[in-house]
Amino acid sequence: MAEVIPTKRIAVVTGANKGIGLEICRQLASKGVLVVLTARDEERGLEAVKSLKVSGFSDVVFHQLDVVDDLSIASFANFIRNQFGRLDILVNNAGITGTEIKEDDWKKLRFGVEDFFPNEKTKKMLGDVDGLTEEKVEELVEEFLEDFKNDLVETKRWPTLFSAYTVSKAAQNAYTRILAKKYPKIAINAVCPGFTCTDLNCNNGSVTTEEGARGPVMLALMPDHQRPSGCFFFQTEMSTFE
């Protein structure tokens, strides 16, 4: 029989052994949430939990999770089901750059829409909320991959700086809107923490991890009757996907 803990909200944070993920765990735990800290690397994940416990946060546990490994996902789902019987909060923080990026390139990063998608066809498709489908998002990603392989990124007006990273973020944001429509009883939102200073960008960010974590934590703890869904937040302020 599942061990259910009804008096505490239960949160899962992916990619949480360091950076923004670890800080999200810290802030959620400080608000009385039982946090399941996950990471691909078990040793690093256990060290992260240990650091939180030393800081006085006892209601934090670790479980290994690789979000691109089906067996790891199934094992983790069984753990949550058997240990708690439910899940109240999921913060999908895990991510990788997918390539080696030079430190100087991070300093060129800007957040304007034209920098992200000069490709008009793509912007139009992503902006059509009612017409968004999983199939369309998948087609977008496949088209980008094909153009990338054929050295047509610039010709087809895809982003030229951090191409794969940028396209994947746009696809993820689109998928957020699709899921929000598909599951109207669950609040599903996308949050940009800002250019946060982490190992991912060689610590070139201008926002601290504490500041970057505030948006996801704010949404996670917002009362049900106030929590929006299918929205995009820049830090703690509601913004637009466009």
Q: Does pLDDT of 118 surpass 70?
A: no
Average pLDDT over residues 81-102: 83
What are 172-191's pLDDT values in tens digits? 999 999 999 999 999 999 99
Antiparallel, parallel or unpaired: β 89-91 and 10-13: parallel
- Residues taking part in catalysis: 165
pLDDT score at 225: 81
| Residue 58 to residue 76: CA distance in whole angstroms | 21
Enter the pTM of the model: 0.87
Q: Which of 93-107, 200-214, 219-233 has the highest mean pLDDT?
A: 219-233
pLDDT score at 74: 98
Q: Does pLDDT of 2 surpass 80?
A: no
| Residue 40 to residue 15: CA distance in whole angstroms | 7
What are 124-164's pLDDT values in tens digits? 888 888 899 999 999 999 999 999 999 998 898 888 877 88
Lowest mean pLDDT among 49-53, 105-109, 143-147: 105-109
Q: Does pLDDT of 197 surpass 90?
A: no
| Residue 213 to residue 5: CA distance in whole angstroms | 25
Percentage with pLDDT > 90 across the chain:
64
What are 24-38's pLDDT values in tens digits? 999 999 999 999 999
DSSP readout, the chain?
-----TTS-EEEESS-SSHHHHHHHHHHHHTT-EEEEEESSHHHHHHHHHHHHHTT--SEEEEE--TT-HHHHHHHHHHHHHHTS---EEE------SS---HHHHTT----HHHH---HHHHHHHH-TTT--HHHHHHHHHHHHHHHHTT-TTTTT--SSSHHHHHHHHHHHHHHHHHHHH-TTS---EEE--SB-SGGGTT--SB-HHHHHHHHHHHHHS-TTT---S-EEETTEE----
Q: Does pLDDT of 9 surpass 90?
A: yes
Mean per-residue pLDDT of the chain: 87
